[in-house]
């Protein structure tokens, strides 16, 4: 599938595929879950901090039919291998590849006492895998929606990301935070979500400039094999910093870096080893930047928002050390174009994508010029496109 939104044509084509694969007879249900772009607030979610993501018009859709037994027969048009598994005795199985993501969600839901069922499912997505737009969260949230839809179960919408995150943490083994699953489940067209990952309080913030400002995604087309282990290492480093700062400040109630504000951190940061000081500095000041970004967004102040994006990128590059040469070059490429408000890497880093905020009338010129500049700097044909702010997951 290409860059365009999944549409009626996709649904018709998937219906045909489904019948080819699993036969006909029962009514097919269709579900969809979107990818996300995080405007700002990176690597803060698993530190109980603030994030400001949007759901975008790239998604995974599924055609699904309930089975009367506890078996799953699944295909993804994005992968060659079919996956068959029973709900009984499920555990992570390398040979099941991509199937572990939906299977993990089914297991976690059942363990939580939510009705689940076997199903025949075809998935089809246009989210780049490992492209930093969180295709993993999309397939997890999609699976939760499928199982809820097929069994006719309703749960609070806010519970869906909690279950999906648990599946990624416990079944897949990636210690991700909740942002990606949250925005995929609860996003709203032309709105960002401000989420406090510590309290789980959230608010939809209108992106009133959506018709005047374009969000451009630039995919570096590189994916580091070490990304998952480096991610888990950052999670551990932050936990170590919390331990030390709690002792240093004598505040036993400190649970996460987000319990410390920029001012308090300035007073105690020298007590940390250099590496942990840099990690904590990023998280604590990134939280402050999210707050400033919300004010900027509410004031339609794109200049300030753009400057915050650039500060965020510099911090992720120099303090949190999760950027890479290609991400830095893509940000430089964006910033070499006229009119760009700001740019930064989005998602976990180590490859994947960066975003830029651009006046709508400059959108095509920026896409063309930044692609050229990125190619000149790296020799890589990146992928550049504008995205719109979409609704969260649901039945189609």
**Residues labelled catalytic:** 180
Q: How many CB atoms lie within 10 A of CB 312?
A: 27
Classify strands 50-66 and 191-196 as parallel, antiparallel or unpaired: antiparallel
Among 105, 139, 331, 386, binds ligand ADP (CB under 6 A): 139
Contact track, ligand ADP, 40-79, x by CB under 6 A: --------------------x---------------x-xx
H/E element, 224: none
Binding-site residue total for Mg ion (CB under 5 A)? Answer: 2
H/E element, 241: helix 227-249
Among 76, 126, 136, 258, binds Mg ion (CB under 5 A): 136
Our finding on whether 38 is near Mg ion (CB under 5 A) is no
Residues near 350 by beta carbon (within 8 Å), at least 6 away in sequence: 223, 224, 226, 227, 230, 231, 322, 324
Considering only residues 96 through 135, tell me which ones interact with Mg ion, judged by CB under 5 A. 134
For residues 136 and 353, which CB has a smaller minimum distance to Mg ion in the complex? 136
Nearest to 279 by CA among 324, 247, 214, 231: 231
Our finding on whether 226 is near ligand ADP (CB under 6 A) is no
Our finding on whether 47 is near Mg ion (CB under 5 A) is no
What is the C-alpha to C-alpha distance for residues 181 and 204, in angstroms, rounded to an integer?
15
Our finding on whether 129 is near ligand ADP (CB under 6 A) is yes
Residues near 314 by beta carbon (within 8 Å), at least 6 away in sequence: none
Residue 131 touches which member of Mg ion, ligand ADP, none, C-beta under 5-8 Å by kind = ligand ADP
For residues 15 and 224, which CB has a smaller minimum distance to ligand ADP in the complex? 224
Q: How far is CA 298 from CA 41, 191, 317, in A?
A: 17, 11, 27
Nearest to 101 by CA among 45, 60, 149: 60
Our finding on whether 31 is near ligand ADP (CB under 6 A) is no
Nearest distance from residue 125's CB to ligand ADP, in Å? 3
Nearest distance from residue 192's CB to Mg ion, in Å? 20
Give the residue nearest to Mg ion (CB). 136
Sign of CA dihedral 296, 301, 304, 307: positive
For residues 132 and 177, which CB has a smaller minimum distance to ligand ADP in the complex? 132
Binding-site residue total for ligand ADP (CB under 6 A)? Answer: 18
Our finding on whether 369 is near ligand ADP (CB under 6 A) is no
For residues 131 and 306, which CB has a smaller minimum distance to ligand ADP in the complex? 131
Q: How far is CA 330 from CA 152, 216, 355, in A?
A: 45, 11, 9
For residues 134 and 311, which CB has a smaller minimum distance to ligand ADP in the complex? 134
What is the C-alpha to C-alpha distance for residues 282 and 284, in angstroms, rounded to an integer?
6
Nearest to 335 by CA among 306, 360, 308: 306
Which residues would be at the binding site for Mg ion (CB under 5 A)? 134, 136
Which residues would be at the binding site for ligand ADP (CB under 6 A)? 60, 76, 78-79, 98, 101, 123, 125, 127, 129-132, 134-136, 139, 347
């Amino acid at each position: 599938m290409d860059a365009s939104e999944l549409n009626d044509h996709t649904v018709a084509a998937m219906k045909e595929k489904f019948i080819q694969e699993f036969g006909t007879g029962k009514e097919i249900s269709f579900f969809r879950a979107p990818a996300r772009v995080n405007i700002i607030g990176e690597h803060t979610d698993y530190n109980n901090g603030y994030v400001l993501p949007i759901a975008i018009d790239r998604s995974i859709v599924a055609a699904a039919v309930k089975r009367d037994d506890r078996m799953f027969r699944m295909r993804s048009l994005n992968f060659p291998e079919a996956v068959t598994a029973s709900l009984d005795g499920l555990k992570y199985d390398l040979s099941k590849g991509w199937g572990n993501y939906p299977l993990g969600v089914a297991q976690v839901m059942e363990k939580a006492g939510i009705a689940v069922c076997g199903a025949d499912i075809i998935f089809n997505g246009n989210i780049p895998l490992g492209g930093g737009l969180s295709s993993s969260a999309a397939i997890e949230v999609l699976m939760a929606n499928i199982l809820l839809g097929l069994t006719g179960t309703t749960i609070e919408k806010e519970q869906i990301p909690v279950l999906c995150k648990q599946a990624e943490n416990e079944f897949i083994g990636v210690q991700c935070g909740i942002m990606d699953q949250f925005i995929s489940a609860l996003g709203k067209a032309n709105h960002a979500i401000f989420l406090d990952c510590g309290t789980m309080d959230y608010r939809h913030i209108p992106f009133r400039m959506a018709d005047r400002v374009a969000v451009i995604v630039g995919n570096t087309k590189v994916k580091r094999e070490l990304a998952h282990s480096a991610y888990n290492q950052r999670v551990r480093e932050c936990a170590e910093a919390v331990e030390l700062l709690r002792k240093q400040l004598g505040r036993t109630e400190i649970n996460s870096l987000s319990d410390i504000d920029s001012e308090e951190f300035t007073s105690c940061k020298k007590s940390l080893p250099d590496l942990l000081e840099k990690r904590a500095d990023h998280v604590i000041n990134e939280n402050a930047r999210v707050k400033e970004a919300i004010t900027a967004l509410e004031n339609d102040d794109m200049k300030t928002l753009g400057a915050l994006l650039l500060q965020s990128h510099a911090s992720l590059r120099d303090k949190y050390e999760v950027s890479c040469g290609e991400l830095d070059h893509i940000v430089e490429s964006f910033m070499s174009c006229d009119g760009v408000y700001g740019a930064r890497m989005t998602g976990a880093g180590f490859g994947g994508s960066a975003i830029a905020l651009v006046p709508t009338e400059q959108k095509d010129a920026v896409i063309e010029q930044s692609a050229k500049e990125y190619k000149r700097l790296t020799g890589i044909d990146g992928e550049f496109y504008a995205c719109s702010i979409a609704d969260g997951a649901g039945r189609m």
